Structure 1
Amino acid sequence: MTPLRKTGLWLGVAAFLVVTGWQAITTGAITGLLGFSGFAVVGAVILSSRPRNGVGWHLYGIGLLWTTSTILTVHGGLSDLGEAGTAVATGPAWAEAVVSGLAWPGWVLLPAIGLLFPTGRVESRVGRAIAWQLIVFAVLAGVATTVSSAPLPQTSRVNPLAVPALDAVGELVVGVPGTLWFLALIIGIVADLALRWRRASDLSRLQYRWLVFGLTVAIVAISLSGLWNAVQPGELWVEIWSGLSVLSINLIPISIGIAVTRHGLYEIGRVVSRTVSYAIVTALVVGVYAAVVTSVAALLPELTTVGVALATLTAAALSLPALRAVQRRVDRRFDREHVDAEAVVDDFGQRLRTGVDPSRASHDLALAVERTLQPATLGLWIAGGSR
């Protein structure tokens, strides 16, 4: 990439940071700055070294779309400073209408990364069909929302861009039929990603695991934030966790960037395995805790303190055994290399315990090292000889 184009890339990143930073200062809306800065930055990093990489352009495009939406939000004077949490606006209503329409392409771009990852191209015929449908859906939904004659969603003002003749189309696209269509496309993306993962080489599988890692952490963090905000709203630690959960969104582009540039892949199997295991166990323990508390509260409303104590003890007793059971199963799927290595070492140790054949011990040791550590070269020194 030429220095001029590289400068242009980073000017786009700077524009994102300046605009979202200004929005955070003036309105207190920090989601764009904290949650999506990684998309623009990682996209620029990938494109600086790989100018034609589709994944880099996709991430960078999400950053540019957020920048455009934020500029229009600031221009429209939109903020959540009204009474009872309602939004107010000091700028033109058309800006709010366009911001509402841009939300749909933004939602569509996020899952679409699964079609391009990790090569930057849509590899399968099914993937290309899904990609075209996503483009059509994003355009239809964005235009239909922008020209809808319904009151604007944030301030309930009259939409100056309304085209009543298109309301019927809009109801289909952004209503239940369109939502089901979009969900079906997301399911198709997941299925296409799973099939390509299954057929991938060892290195590509490591890249897919990075994507799973970033998605898992972000989804778990955001889900727990929503749960705790519903259970204990306003608590300081809940507010802190909410801020961290917003930051966790950046793990998606960061993990994608690491995978695409193929750095640091050696331990991702273990990282993903532990992440998925703890996510499953956390959801299980939280579910058991909530079920016990609500059950006791319904059956014995006068003993709510006992219910909380019983739920705490039950969740604590369940956590470690559940973690061990889940860990064994998840390791077989996400950290197979580690599981296979442990099996080789255990088999070698068993042969040493049951009987040692001096003529085969060195061969068995060298074979175990090659299968577990996979060194480029291997040398074994034996007293009285060499190998």
Structure 2
Amino acid sequence: MSRRTLPFVARVAALLVLLVYVAGICANAWLERRLGLQSENPAEDVVLFAGFGLFAAVGALLVAKRPDNPIGWIMSANALIVGIFPACESYAAYVMSTSGRPDALAVAGAWANSWYWYLLLALTFVYLPLLFPDGRLPSRRWLPVAVLPGIGVAGIAILGALTENLRGQTFDYRIDNPIGIEGLGYVEDLQAFAVLGGGALAIGTVGSVISVVVRFRRSRGTERQQLKWFLYAAAPIVAFPAIESLPRIVGGLLTGWVLLGLPAAIGIAVLRYRLYEIDLFINRTLVYGPLTAMLVLVYFGGVVGLQAALRTLTGQESTLAIVASTLAIAALFSPLRRRVQEFVDRRFYRRKYDATKTLAAFSARLREETDLDALGADLVGVARETMQPEHVSLWLRPDMAQLGERED
């Protein structure tokens, strides 16, 4: 494809990604409603659809703006998978519940349903981090990490295509596979599934995580800022294995952070829009995260403690505990924020913290010092300590009036 036609094709593809995603989500919602399926948690569904909708929007934007970067195409593929394949399963279930006999589209939907989940996992947890941010492998040594999951997903697709029966995951139905091999069980029940699916994806996921770490350690300048955005948005994934043991609201916040934050961070990083503001985001998160946790503990601890004390003294509950706890956190907010900010600066931004202290000390000396040579030496020392340049020198323009007097 020529460079002239590529931008046009990319814009058309980006528009199709958005249209197909929206159409697939709407079709799936309509079919589930006809099947009488009620969502157990509508809020989670909204976050899920909004998150992958943002994947579709950012992916389409990157495809249109950076068509030569595979990151946009991977994000678009993720959105299309989430938009199309659940609707295919819902259609298969709808056909089986209404007529009892599947048509060709229902068979295709049930077949795709048997393996598409693993393609989604491979694209999200292997290829997206492995190729971020420029769409290329860190080096040729990482080629096996890219190839192995692809072989595993292809093997799962072949097994799913040849099983004797096709069954639903969200809905309970079974469809005879017209090209299936008699006696070949479901994909999940096969011994080869653990090797091809779980093993390949696990190796690919671990390898992609290691590649991000290696790339970050070697990165400088713009690439490091891009990786900071990616790691900032993807950080809550570390807690996903234990998400079931976390409070429901915490799990929902972590999931929303990743689903909504990751595509936004990828878009900012690849398009290099406000790239260097990530340091401010990280700093504010390190400050306001612990600050919020401490204030919440103070509030609920104060409410519980004061309610217990008032119940003991008066024999009844009072709103005084809530009012007092609210006033306490209002009074504690500013001093706690300053303390946390100082700790974060000392612990994670030592150079910036030391530079601030050095400039403050220089400002104090500047008000008292009158010797120009001493001030010049101090200024050079401050520049060397705060900026750490390879070379520093100070040039002072001579006073023209004094120069004229000397000539006279």
Decide which of 87, 104, 117 is 1:103's aligned counterpart. 117
Check if 1:13 corresponds to 2:18.
Answer: yes
Change (3 A) 1:156 1:353: same
Question: 1:253, CA displacement in angstroms?
Answer: 1.4
Decide which of 198, 205, 215 is 1:196's aligned counterpart. 215
* Rg larger in structure: 2
Change (3 A) 1:373 1:224: farther
- Cα offsets for 1:7-50 (capped at 9, x unmatched): 33212212212221343455355465222112221111112122
- Between the aligned partners of 1:61 and 1:330, the Cα distance in structure 2 is 43
In structure 2, the residue matched to 1:290 is none
In structure 2, the residue matched to 1:344 is 355
- Between the aligned partners of 1:134 and 1:165, the Cα distance in structure 2 is 23
- Between the aligned partners of 2:286 and 2:94, the Cα distance in structure 1 is 39
Question: 1:157, CA displacement in angstroms?
Answer: 3.0
* Structure 1 residues not aligned, in runs of 5+: 80-87, 230-237, 287-312
Check if 1:214 corresponds to 2:228.
Answer: no
Decide which of 183, 197, 220 is 2:202's aligned counterpart. 183
**SS of corresponding position for 1:249:** helix
Amino acid at match of 1:103: W
Amino acid at match of 2:219: A
- Between the aligned partners of 2:200 and 2:233, the Cα distance in structure 1 is 26
Question: 1:217, CA displacement in angstroms?
Answer: 5.2
Decide which of 20, 23, 27 is 2:28's aligned counterpart. 23
CA RMSD of the aligned region, Å?
4.7
- Between the aligned partners of 1:274 and 1:220, the Cα distance in structure 2 is 21
Amino acid at match of 1:206: Q
Check if 1:49 corresponds to 2:65.
Answer: yes
* Structure 2 residues not aligned, in runs of 5+: 1-5, 33-38, 40-44, 297-324, 401-408
Decide which of 118, 121, 128 is 2:133's aligned counterpart. 118
- Between the aligned partners of 2:241 and 2:295, the Cα distance in structure 1 is 17
Question: 1:133, CA displacement in angstroms?
Answer: 0.7
Amino acid at match of 2:110: E
Change (3 A) 1:51 1:243: same
- Between the aligned partners of 2:152 and 2:185, the Cα distance in structure 1 is 15
Check if 1:268 corresponds to 2:278.
Answer: yes
- Between the aligned partners of 1:228 and 1:271, the Cα distance in structure 2 is 25
What are the residue-to-residue correspondences of 1:136-285 with 2, within 5 Å? 136-149=151-164, 151-161=167-177, 162-163=180-181, 164-165=183-184, 171-175=190-194, 178-216=197-235, 227-229=246-248, 238=249, 242=252, 245-246=255-256, 248-275=258-285
Question: 1:381, CA displacement in angstroms?
Answer: 10
Change (3 A) 1:275 1:172: farther
How high is the TM-score relative to the length of structure 1?
0.67
In structure 1, the residue matched to 2:321 is none
- Cα offsets for 1:36-82 (capped at 9, x unmatched): 11222111111212211111111112122223313413422469xxx
**SS of corresponding position for 2:115:** helix
**SS of corresponding position for 1:155:** coil
Equivalenced residues, count: 331
Question: 1:147, CA displacement in angstroms?
Answer: 4.1
Amino acid at match of 1:119: D
Question: 1:3, CA displacement in angstroms?
Answer: 3.7
Question: 1:190, CA displacement in angstroms?
Answer: 0.9
What are the residue-to-residue correspondences of 1:294-313 with 2, within 5 Å? none
Amino acid at match of 1:155: F
- Between the aligned partners of 2:360 and 2:203, the Cα distance in structure 1 is 50
8 Å Cα contact 1:108/1:134 also seen in 2: yes
Identity of aligned residues (%): 19
Decide which of 131, 142, 145 is 1:130's aligned counterpart. 145
Change (3 A) 1:78 1:103: farther
8 Å Cα contact 2:362/2:378 also seen in 1: no
**SS of corresponding position for 2:171:** coil
8 Å Cα contact 2:31/2:87 also seen in 1: no
